[in-house]
A and B are shown apart, each in its own frame.
Chain A
Amino acid sequence: MMYRITVRETGESFPCQSNEFVLAAMIRSRRGPVVHGCCGGGCGVCRMRIDSGEYEKIKRMSRAHVSEDEEKTGLVLLCCIQPRSDLVVSKAGRDLADSKAI
């Protein structure tokens, strides 16, 4: 199955297969705010909120970036989830500019 992922802030959207991680589809399409990451649930760069739609968590997400309570409210790491319907996602990342080395 192919679903459509829409980024709420920009209105841009991209396709994502049901057996594909949402981050991989976002990076491939270049139509989302996240352009890289560890893709293993560890680094937290792809932290976003799912505003609507169904998804399945395939991989564990680091609790350093998504707490149990946050997970219940739809906060996810996009590299760990696959879509089960069309999704609307919105920004929830912490500002990396706060922690940039340079």
Chain B
Amino acid sequence: MGFCGTLRPGLVQLRVLDLDKTLSFYVNVLGLDEVGRTPDGRVMLKTYDEFDHHSLTLRQADEAGLDFVAFKVTDPQTLEWMRDRTEAFGYHVTEKPANTDQPGFGKRYSFRICTGHVFDIYSDVQIAAKTPQIKNPDIWTTPPRGMKAIRLDHFLLYGPNIAEAERFCKEVFGMYVPEVCNNADGSRLATWITGNNKPHDLAFVEYPQPGKIHHLGFYLEDWKDIGNAADWIAINKLKLDIGPTRHAITRGLSIYFWEPSGNRIEVYAGGYAAYPDNPQRVWDASQLGRGLFYYSGEVIPSFLEIVT
């Protein structure tokens, strides 16, 4: 159980330019399992260690980037309550009926927030055909592949008016904000938001263009697996952005790179245990280099400028 009605980000739909080549990356390099395909040719994927039907959908499109992110909430009552709270907050909510564009998923409510991103919420989803064991369980049933991604962990979104987005996540999702970065005038430059013990379920950076994604983050076990991921990046000649390194913000161990359609991926391990009663950590924008890349203390331009 999370600390609030919102359990976790449970589903992301990404646009890719070359479906076959990009799918091969997600399956053979990142290590996800293909769950199935929709009638219109989208591909559903999950990690070996996730229970729900799928957590990532790839859609071939003319542009790379993000279609929507979806959050799983605890139960149908919370879902209805959150729908009403979202409307009251000022975002128009539409309903996506069960088992329509995302097989296995129950009814979802969908709305666009101020940053231009489409958020969905849902409470019901089928358990996948292939899940981790639950009775005297082994750590896996078939050996994890490639980078051995354990779970869809978080995402960083770029868009305008992130102070409002942060307030929405607190007031409607019931989340809290373990860490922030402020400009000299006190306005938010970046915010890290969670509904559980993870340092972040999602993060925002203030940016003039709406609806952009900076990266999608998958969880690995430890520092050794970050090094393993670096080997897979090199062997497959993927474009590295930065790392292996450590964030001071979240304390995560990390490496960033681009998948074949140009969406940035982070594989991440560690991070502190967040608690809603702990004081908020606050970074000055002038110190963001140390916050992001603790060892070098410097932000590289590609990390700030490139989004899809």
State whether B206 touches A101 (Cβ < 8 A).
Answer: yes
Complex interface: chain A residues within 8 A of B205 (CB) = 101
State A64–B285 Cα separation when bound (angstroms).
30
Nearest to B260 among chain A residues (CB) is: A40
Which residues of A (2-37) have their CB < 8 Å from a CB of B? 35-37
State whether B17 touches A37 (Cβ < 8 A).
Answer: no
Q: Does A74 contact B (CB under 8 A)?
A: no
Nearest to A102 among chain B residues (CB) is: B304
Complex interface: chain B residues within 8 A of A35 (CB) = 301
Q: Does B18 contact A (CB under 8 A)?
A: yes
Mostly, the A contact residues are loop
State whether B304 touches A40 (Cβ < 8 A).
Answer: no
Complex interface: chain B residues within 8 A of A102 (CB) = 189, 285, 288, 299, 304
State A99–B18 Cα separation when bound (angstroms).
26
Interface residue count on the A side (C-beta < 8 Å) = 22
Binds A, one of B60-68, B116-124, B246-254: B60-68
Interface size for chain B: under 10, 10 to 19, 20 to 34, or 35 or more residues? 20 to 34
Q: Does B76 contact A (CB under 8 A)?
A: no
Q: Which of B209, B258, B259, B264 is the most central at the interface, judged by chain A CB atoms within 10 Å of its CB?
A: B258
State A59–B18 Cα separation when bound (angstroms).
8
Q: Does B91 contact A (CB under 8 A)?
A: no
User: Contacting B239 at CB < 8 Å: which of A38, A64, A98?
Assistant: A38
Mostly, the B contact residues are loop
State A12–B302 Cα separation when bound (angstroms).
23
State A72–B77 Cα separation when bound (angstroms).
54
Cβ distance A69 to chain B, nearest Cβ, rounded Å: 14
Q: Does B307 contact A (CB under 8 A)?
A: yes
State whether B189 touches A36 (Cβ < 8 A).
Answer: no
| Contact A100 B305, CB 8 Å, known A42-B64, A60-B18, A62-B62 | yes
Complex interface: chain B residues within 8 A of A100 (CB) = 304-305
Nearest to B300 among chain A residues (CB) is: A36
State A100–B64 Cα separation when bound (angstroms).
19
| Contact A101 B304, CB 8 Å, known A39-B258, A40-B259, A63-B63 | yes
> Chain B interface (Cβ within 8 Å of chain A)?
17-18, 62-65, 158, 189, 205-209, 239, 258-264, 285, 288, 299-302, 304-308
Known: A35-B301, A38-B263, A39-B239. 9 other contacts (CB 8 A): A37-B239, A39-B262, A40-B64, A40-B262, A60-B18, A62-B65, A64-B62, A101-B206, A101-B207
